[in-house]
Structure 1
Amino acid sequence: MDILETDAYDRRQRRNSSCILFLFLLPFFVSSSLYFYLWIPQNAPSLFAAAVKCSPVLSLAVLVLAHNGGQSLLGVAGGLLFSACGDCCLIWPELFLHGMAVFAVAHLLYCTSFLSERYSSLSSSSSSSALFLSISLWLTGIGTYFYLLPFLQKRTDSAILTPALGVYMVLIIAMTTLALHTRWSVTAVGGLSFLLSDLALSLQVFGVVDPLAEGRAVVMTTYYLAQVLIAVGDVKAGSYTGDGLRKRKIM
């Protein structure tokens, strides 16, 4: 009977936690919907455009801080805050390198979080699949970098951009690899979505394909999806102890 009561209690806890999490995510859904509704032209950079673009990610940072506390500033919450700064930089094309540097710091913070005990590793069988996918990602990343090299060399800032992009690609693939090896599927999908978003962005920024409204929509949809999944994964990870047991609390 005790086992049945414990199981019923855990189900109620999960249901209550899901409802509370959904309420905390409402600011993200509203602000991201506002971004797509306004769809401010890229050729009209402004502080208002920057605020609209970064507000969904800032709302996620508040969510993670509310659930996991100040220590998350050295993890996912900090990564989200740096990502929001990167969003602001990318509003102005001349700040592209600054934005890339800020996002690089965000990936480092994500990596730090994914290496913690809260993100315990997968089982051996699942880890094998994640390892195969990780190797594929690294090989794809190396191939993509060399494919982009001729396009990078046409730019006036190629002397700085070429090595900077190499470092950035190493960091984002490392972040995605670590995400794949956590026990949280939402985190893994979030890492992959972030990688897809950056790939779509780089193809447009570096002139591989012509920038289109549809291309921007792909970039931002996968980007916001990545950030919300990483944030939700961190909230879930924060509700478990180091040995994988659920904490007896609501969120």
Structure 2
Amino acid sequence: MDILETDAYDRRQRRNTSCILFLFLLPFFASAALYFYLWIPDSAPSILAAGVKAAPVLSLAFVVLSYIGGKSLLGVAGGLVMSAGGDICLIWPHLFLLGMACFALAHLLYSLSFLTSRYSSQSSSSCGLYFFYLLLWVASGGIYVYLLPFLQKSPEPEVFVPAVGGYALLIVLMATLAARTRRPLVLLGGLVFMVSDFTLALQHFKVVEHLDHGKHIVMTTYYLAQLLIAIGDVKATMAEQGEEFHKWKRS
């Protein structure tokens, strides 16, 4: 009977938490829809445009903070706040490097979060996973080599060549640690983030003169990546709390 009660409790908890999580995510969907409705990239740089662009990611930071607390400021919530800072910087083209620095710090915070105890129970490795790590690093290195001639033609090659190289290192590290967690949402979020940034680099450094719906692809994949990482982090926390509950029931 005790086992049946525990299973029923688990089902109720999963159903209730899923419904509550969806309600918490409504501001994200509403603010993202507003961003695409106003289509901020075509508007003049302004405080309003910066606020509209950053609002979806800030709403995700609020969700993570609500579930995990202030300690997540050194993890995914902090990464989301830094990403919002990057969003604001990229509204003004002359702040591109500062924006890239904000996103680099975000990837570092995500990486630190993926190394915490919430993910440790899922973090065993296998030959297949090591092969996937190798593919990630080879692909990232290949992308950087592909971009290198265009970086050298940029207005400040002495800055962009090492800066983009360092950024590529941090984002592939984040994606590798996301894969290490073995949590599908987190892994997919890391990979989609790489796709978003690669698409942005193709356009910003004039690798392609014109990419149909290029800005739409960048922002859709960007918001999707942040959503997946945030939900994955919340679910990892709920799973950890569930394990603690089972331990308490057995004691």
TM over 0.5: yes
Alpha-carbon distance, 1:229 to partner: 0.7
Identity %: 62
Deviation per CA, 1:97-119: give whole Å up to 9, x if none.
11101111111100110000101
Structure 1 counterpart of 2:81 = 81
Check the 8 A contact 2:136/2:172 in 1, yes or no.
yes
| Code of the aligned partner of 1:103 | F
What CA distance in whole angstroms lies between the structure 1 residues aligned with 2:245 and 2:204?
Answer: 45
Q: Which consecutive segments of 4 or more residues in structure 1 shift more than 6 A?
A: none
What CA distance in whole angstroms lies between the structure 2 residues aligned with 1:147 and 1:41?
Answer: 26
Structure 1 counterpart of 2:24 = 24
Check the 8 A contact 1:196/1:222 in 2, yes or no.
yes
| Code of the aligned partner of 1:18 | S
TM-score (norm 1): 0.93
SS in 1 for 2:9: helix
Check the 8 A contact 1:127/1:181 in 2, yes or no.
no
Alpha-carbon distance, 1:41 to partner: 3.7
Structure 1 counterpart of 2:200 = 201
What CA distance in whole angstroms lies between the structure 1 residues aligned with 2:58 and 2:41?
Answer: 21
1:95 aligns with 2:56: no
Structure 2 counterpart of 1:11 = 11
Alpha-carbon distance, 1:128 to partner: 3.4
Q: Which structure 2 residue ranges, 5 or more long, are not aligned?
A: 247-251
Structure 1 counterpart of 2:178 = 179
Alpha-carbon distance, 1:122 to partner: 3.6
Check the 8 A contact 2:75/2:112 in 1, yes or no.
yes
What CA distance in whole angstroms lies between the structure 1 residues aligned with 2:53 and 2:210?
Answer: 18
Structure 1 counterpart of 2:215 = 216
Check the 8 A contact 1:186/1:229 in 2, yes or no.
yes
| Code of the aligned partner of 2:229 | I
Q: Which structure 1 residue ranges, 5 or more long, are not aligned?
A: none
Deviates more, 1:69-78 or 1:179-188: 179-188
Alpha-carbon distance, 1:184 to partner: 1.8
What CA distance in whole angstroms lies between the structure 2 residues aligned with 1:96 and 1:23?
Answer: 34
Deviates more, 1:130-139 or 1:221-230: 130-139
Check the 8 A contact 1:121/1:183 in 2, yes or no.
no
| Code of the aligned partner of 1:93 | P
SS in 2 for 1:138: helix
Distance 1:247 1:5, change over 3 A: closer
Task: Name the structure with the higher helix share.
Answer: 2
Count of aligned residue pairs for this structure pair:
246
| Code of the aligned partner of 1:167 | G
Structure 2 counterpart of 1:228 = 227
TM-score (norm 2): 0.93
